[in-house]
Structure 1
Amino acid sequence: TPGHANPVPALANAFHSEAPVVNIAGSADSPNLGRGAMQEIDQVGIARPVTKGAWEVPSPERIPEYVGLAFRTALCGRQGPVHLTIPHDYQSAEVDASDFERYAPREYSVPTKVMADVERVRQGLEFLNSAERPLIMAGSSAGATADPDEVRRLVETTRIPFVSEDSARALIPDSHPYSMGFGYLPLNRAAQLVREADVVLMLGKRLDYTLGFGGTPPFAQGVKLIVVDPSPAQIGRARSADVAVLSDLGPACSQMADEATKLSWIERSDWMDHLRRTHEEWMAELYEQASASTPMHPMYVSETLQNFLQEDAHITFDGGDYCHFLRASIPRERPFRFHNVSSFGMIGVGIAYGMGAQAALPETQCVVAVGDGSFGFNGMELDTMVRHNLPVKILLGNNSIWGIDWQIQKGIYGRPVWTDLAEGTRYDLVAQGLGAYGDYVQSAEQLEPALKRAFAYDGPALLNIEVGQIISPVAEAAIDRKMGSHG
């Protein structure tokens, strides 16, 4: 059906984000499938490449069985989306109630977590304990199941510096002495010091393109990798692990913290000072760009916005160059308050993310930083925010270009092609037309008063902020490699 075709990009993004979405779609009546039924397509075949599993329910009696299968698959191991097709005639069929009792939802909604082999845990800790320059990197699977208190206990017991990204962002707060902030290498020079680490503990972080598939660079020659992951396929996918720990991250972190207390750990002062100094210098370099110029630098938007953010604010970043500056510089003190476009890099998701966050966290301040190009994909969902009174605050960075692509084209080929947008587009008037608050911010002195008005407004608000066409560290890194990869 067209209804199934529409969310396929969302399923692809959920797949990379490791989001346990259960997608259910109807179809034509089962007797007519395969002979040109109304709106007929191969729904399972379309969904299979972008989900952990996709099935068509074979009979009405087996709907409970397949619903249970869908939830277990979505929530176990490395989490991710699944798809079910339920033909139209099954939805009104009568079945015996006993069929439902057989598959009553007892455990599949919160599946039992798989624990780690304690000998592997001990082996990994011995590597860490003997290291001179250890580092912990946390990724999405840690964010899915790890208890922030247990992660903090592990870090504080071992005295090992920690970086995090995606849904694991701020499992320990950025202000913690062992936190070195954001784990995405192009946006944190301290994280780039992974090249000097001799032992790295990967907590649910994939060795994908963002980490050079485990090669050199960014890792040092001879580095020891301890990989903790719920997926046996992922553990050795890019390179062999020196210690492979197959486990959900929740129990694994607790087990590692428990076992770590049985060892003596030293403070690696030189290594910690090196990381802290590098991180502080990096942040200072970013904030040096936050001048009150016109058009504004994205860092000025970041610095000014932070005066209005509550500690537990949820922030979504959707876009390229403009958003890269904000997500690199806005500290995170609470876990599960950070959304990004994922390793898939699919822009246009921010408005929907912010709306979902506000619906899930009605008492929490929810903010979306979005580029002008990204806003074009789903900006009309402001209408949904208005109808449901979801007071999301949207800071649209209007630089009149498809930022990162424009910069990469210019840097590699000398000129951009088809990546310019119209100047002065009045996205604020679009917001007003949909019933939200909209304001046009054209100069630095207008930003703070506009933020005051937007945050005081009891409903969704959009600030259309003119920012400069400033190249981000991510685009600079891509140009340096003379390729279009964003990793």
Structure 2
Amino acid sequence: MVGGAELVPRGRGVTQLPGTHLEGHGGQLVAATLGAFGVREIFTLSGGHIFSIYDGCVKAGIRIVDVRHEQTATFAAEGFAKLTRRPGVAVLTAGPGVTNGVSAVTTAHFNGSPLVVLGGRAPQARWGAGSLQEFDHVPVVASITKVARTVTSTGQIAKELHEAVTLALTPHRGPVFLDFPLDVVFASDASDVPDGVVPAGPEPDADDVSRAAALVASAERPVLVAGGDVWADGAWEALRRCVESLRVPTFVNGQGRGCLPADHELAFARTRSFLKQADVVVVVGTPLDFRLSFGSFGAAQVVHVVDHPDSRAGHVDAAVSPAGDLSTILDGMASHTGARADHEAWIAKLRDEETARREAERAELEADTDPIHPARVYGELRARLARDAVVIGDGGDFVSYAGKLIDSFEPGCWMDPGPYGCLGTGLGYAIAARVAHPDRQVVLLQGDGAIGFNGMDYDTLVRHDLPVVAIVGNNGIWGLEKHPMQAIYGYDVAADLQSGCRYDRVVEGLGGAGETVERPADLGPALDRAFAAGVPYLVNVLTDPAIAYPRTSNLA
């Protein structure tokens, strides 16, 4: 159980939801098709091209969450897809409505999120005559979606939308896009609305699974890294069975966080440098990108486990790369009956180092410095987080400290932008988290740069009664750029923000609440007030601009 709701890992096979026959306008056909997949909410910003979809949603009882910018709507839909492992739906008006959502669609592309973007479109009967917001969206989003097309017939809406949603949910998951001309989506027709189907991943090759298991079992120093597709595939219990059976120290990244609880005996976080000492590194459900040294781990053999053959890394010569349903692969590895090396000394070595490094963090977590050390914020926050709290990171250095210092104990409880690294995800994700989990703590961590992208959507939190605790690490600079530029050139430009800006007053002006914190001793009481407020509450923490997060990754 997580937050009162039972998490059900996805097994093989499909889930059938009932189909029906419907006569109505295009918006009703859209709503009925979405409803067949269990969609009960859309994220949007109002526009005349999509009024019929709103009418269909109202009649079908689908919640409409309207925001202040289409980027936020699309990030909210992507975040909802990530959190729930169901389709997240953004409905965007024609022209600038769609183009405003492109960064969020790209983020979903990199994250493998089942995002469904439905766009308005100028009427096809007048196409080329210069209608308001007449623009062909499809070529713009084609390279970042699994399918992008225009629906040209009212009677085809249910069929084409059903196909698109099914494709979004099919491993390897990703965003899809359909737009609907005004004279198609407002017209009426009769149509069958197909059953909603949740597809399973392909059946993995049994020999690949056996080879992977044998490599891990016979290794002297194996390590496993679990990524976001373990969560998306519903494979967290299979992950636990696998690492417990094979006795493998395990790290997590992205939305893989929490798929093995941080307090599990085989869970490690502070000792990632030991990946270079491993002789076998198993990476499950995440790309071999800059976050994982591009798949280069010293002399280690690499096993890359992916949810579809197309996700295998082309730039790494993996020892073996099982592809398919992740639960099947992990359970297959767990059932290995061949020879096994003793991994206990290796596990003990990592545990001793993990313990020492965590102990060494204590000084920063408890720092009583003025200005405030960003790590002190997390020292106070950790003591107040529930085990199933949803924590959202949207920022540079300030959020990097969170990634290091905030542990995850349940699956589906951590959200960050992912490898595309797009700032501005945070408010959309926070909206999604509160809609998906109305009874949990939702904590949004933002840098003072990130809040500038979508800050007006604190109004959305207020209007829709979505209380969120937001913490802004306010050091008055673009820290991720200022410090490196100083190191390279000896000076910096375009790297300063307004010192001490009162972002809490912005939230107050929008109907929420907040306060500014300048002293470490005031952090804890401020967080207590935020969690008790019952409204969107921003704690604006003035942090030390001289402190740069100690970064070691090669980003390119």
Aligned to 2:494: 418
TM superposition shift of 1:6: 1.2
AA aligned to 2:280 is: V
Q: 1:281 to 1:52 in 2, by over 3 A?
A: farther
Aligned to 2:87: none
Aligned to 2:33: none
Aligned to 2:327: 250
**Which secondary structure does the structure 2 equivalent of 1:135 belong to?**
strand
What is the correspondence of 1:338-417 to structure 2 with a 5 Å cutoff? 338-417=414-493
Contact 2:201 2:308 in 1 (8 A): no
Contact 1:436 1:460 in 2 (8 A): yes
The 10-residue stretch of structure 1 (158-167 or 227-236) with the greater mean CA deviation from structure 2: 227-236
- Separation (CA, whole Å) in 2 of partners of 1:428 and 1:397: 12
Post-superposition CA distance 1:410-453 (Å, at most 9, x none):
12221221101111111111111111111110111211111111
TM superposition shift of 1:165: 0.9
Task: Pick the aligned partner of 1:105 from 178, 195, 199.
Answer: 195
Post-superposition CA distance 1:58-94 (Å, at most 9, x none):
3222212211221122111221111111111111223
Aligned to 1:92: 186
Contact 1:157 1:265 in 2 (8 A): no
1:152 aligns with 2:202: no
TM superposition shift of 1:55: 1.2
1:48 aligns with 2:142: yes
TM superposition shift of 1:264: 5.7
Post-superposition CA distance 1:199-230 (Å, at most 9, x none):
11121121112223223xxx122x22222112
Aligned to 1:284: 359
Q: Normalized against structure 2, the TM-score is what?
A: 0.80
Q: 1:267 to 1:313 in 2, by over 3 A?
A: farther
- Separation (CA, whole Å) in 1 of partners of 2:184 and 2:146: 24
Q: Which has the higher contact order (CA 8 A, sep 6+)?
A: 2
- Separation (CA, whole Å) in 1 of partners of 2:172 and 2:317: 19
AA aligned to 1:248 is: D
- Separation (CA, whole Å) in 2 of partners of 1:96 and 1:90: 13
Task: Pick the aligned partner of 2:115 from 1, 12, 21.
Answer: 21
Q: Normalized against structure 1, the TM-score is what?
A: 0.91
Post-superposition CA distance 1:280-325 (Å, at most 9, x none):
2332333322311111111111001111111111100110111111
Aligned to 1:12: 106
Aligned to 2:52: none
The 10-residue stretch of structure 1 (392-401 or 202-211) with the greater mean CA deviation from structure 2: 202-211
The 10-residue stretch of structure 1 (403-412 or 227-236) with the greater mean CA deviation from structure 2: 227-236
1:177 aligns with 2:265: yes
1:455 aligns with 2:531: yes
Gaps of at least 5 residues in structure 1 are 182-187, 479-484
**Which secondary structure does the structure 2 equivalent of 1:179 belong to?**
coil
TM superposition shift of 1:141: 1.6
Aligned to 2:64: none
The 10-residue stretch of structure 1 (392-401 or 247-256) with the greater mean CA deviation from structure 2: 247-256
**Which secondary structure does the structure 2 equivalent of 1:459 belong to?**
coil
**Which secondary structure does the structure 1 equivalent of 2:302 belong to?**
strand
Post-superposition CA distance 1:152-186 (Å, at most 9, x none):
111111100111111111211010010113xxxxx
TM superposition shift of 1:357: 0.5
What is the correspondence of 1:108-257 to structure 2 with a 5 Å cutoff? 110-181=198-269, 188=270, 190-215=271-296, 219-221=297-299, 223-257=300-334
**Which secondary structure does the structure 1 equivalent of 2:321 belong to?**
strand
- Separation (CA, whole Å) in 2 of partners of 1:279 and 1:412: 33
Post-superposition CA distance 1:119-138 (Å, at most 9, x none):
21111111111111111111
Contact 1:48 1:54 in 2 (8 A): yes
- Separation (CA, whole Å) in 2 of partners of 1:350 and 1:277: 35
Contact 1:53 1:83 in 2 (8 A): yes
- Separation (CA, whole Å) in 2 of partners of 1:228 and 1:34: 48
The 10-residue stretch of structure 1 (242-251 or 15-24) with the greater mean CA deviation from structure 2: 242-251
Post-superposition CA distance 1:336-370 (Å, at most 9, x none):
00001211111111122112101100000000111
- Separation (CA, whole Å) in 2 of partners of 1:358 and 1:267: 45
**Which secondary structure does the structure 2 equivalent of 1:155 belong to?**
helix
- Separation (CA, whole Å) in 2 of partners of 1:287 and 1:12: 38
Contact 1:159 1:265 in 2 (8 A): no
Contact 2:122 2:135 in 1 (8 A): no
Aligned to 1:185: none
Aligned to 1:481: none
TM superposition shift of 1:265: 4.2
What is the correspondence of 1:299-318 to structure 2 with a 5 Å cutoff? 299-318=375-394
- Separation (CA, whole Å) in 1 of partners of 2:273 and 2:154: 54
- Separation (CA, whole Å) in 1 of partners of 2:228 and 2:155: 36
Q: 1:409 to 1:334 in 2, by over 3 A?
A: same
1:473 aligns with 2:550: yes
AA aligned to 2:290 is: Y
**Which secondary structure does the structure 2 equivalent of 1:143 belong to?**
helix
- Separation (CA, whole Å) in 2 of partners of 1:96 and 1:311: 48
AA aligned to 1:23 is: V
- Separation (CA, whole Å) in 1 of partners of 2:398 and 2:305: 33
- Separation (CA, whole Å) in 1 of partners of 2:129 and 2:356: 65
- Separation (CA, whole Å) in 2 of partners of 1:172 and 1:67: 35
TM superposition shift of 1:23: 0.2
- Separation (CA, whole Å) in 2 of partners of 1:407 and 1:231: 40
Contact 1:316 1:353 in 2 (8 A): yes
- Separation (CA, whole Å) in 2 of partners of 1:274 and 1:35: 71
Task: Pick the aligned partner of 1:63 from 153, 157, 174.
Answer: 157
Aligned length: 460
TM superposition shift of 1:192: 1.9
1:73 aligns with 2:150: no
The 10-residue stretch of structure 1 (277-286 or 444-453) with the greater mean CA deviation from structure 2: 277-286
TM superposition shift of 1:15: 1.4
Task: Pick the aligned partner of 2:400 from 315, 319, 324.
Answer: 324
The 10-residue stretch of structure 1 (52-61 or 462-471) with the greater mean CA deviation from structure 2: 52-61
- Separation (CA, whole Å) in 2 of partners of 1:464 and 1:160: 41
- Separation (CA, whole Å) in 1 of partners of 2:227 and 2:480: 24
**Which secondary structure does the structure 2 equivalent of 1:23 belong to?**
strand
AA aligned to 2:215 is: F
Aligned to 1:30: 124
- Separation (CA, whole Å) in 2 of partners of 1:40 and 1:317: 36
**Which secondary structure does the structure 1 equivalent of 2:163 belong to?**
helix
**Which secondary structure does the structure 1 equivalent of 2:361 belong to?**
helix
AA aligned to 1:55 is: R
Contact 2:230 2:236 in 1 (8 A): no
